[in-house]
Amino acid sequence: MANRFARRIRNGTIRTPGELKSEFKSLAKALHPDLAGHGAGEEFIRVRSEYEAALRDFELHRFRTRPRRSEGQPAASEAGTDTDARPRVFAALGILRGRGFPKVPRHEKERFRYEYARYRFETALGELGADAGTDLAAVERALLDLRAREPSSFEAVLAHLDGLTEYAARGLPAMRTSLALESHSLGADPGIPETVKRFLGALADTLGLVQALPDT
């Protein structure tokens, strides 16, 4: 019998493990024997089995690829607040930037590779906790609009993202104050959308750059 969740993951109706969990909880609640009667018990067990199988192979269904996790890195289903996720956040951001973030993919193969990189970045952000989470699709739309309206501000944002990624990887003290000042300047730029500013601010906070600003 076909897995009802896997089919919806493949067609894009369910796009994240969080959405999958919500779908399962709604269906399981309706089918739980305590609410639906003992006759629903068999269907409840089947739904739970399908959910667990879909979650285990989520990336295979969604992106046609097996998970690529380094040793000790939790699966999306296991993610929680984890300050040690910071290296993964910026490593994933570097890969996403390498895929051309922000952009609109030109064809199917490119779309799967790009969306997978975006998914890995969002998953890593989620591991840091709710405060670090962001609507990356909204950020991307805002950046593409900024590229059309204010190319210089757009390029400054991308350069800052790349600088944050390099600093996270190399930890050069000489970069710290410079990046903190850049972050402050971009936050004061009236042409940059608030969605983008919040995104940049969350990344800067993750690296503790606010504390690097000189006293005034």
The model's pLDDT over 47-93, given as tens digits with 9 standing for 90+, comes to 999 999 999 999 889 887 766 554 344 444 444 444 468 898 999 99
Residue 76 near residue 23 (C-beta atoms within 8 A):
no
Q: How far is CA 212 from the centre of its chain?
A: 26
214 three-state secondary structure: coil
Tokens of 206: 């993750």
Task: Indicate the pLDDT class of residue 214, thresholds 50, 70 and 90.
Answer: low
Between these two residues, 135 and 150, which has the higher pLDDT value? 150
Measured between alpha carbons, how far is 216 from 176 in angstroms, rounded to an integer?
17
pTM score: 0.74
Measured between alpha carbons, how far is 37 from 26 in angstroms, rounded to an integer?
16
**Dihedral of the alpha carbons of 123, 163, 99, 70, in degrees to the nearest 10:** -40
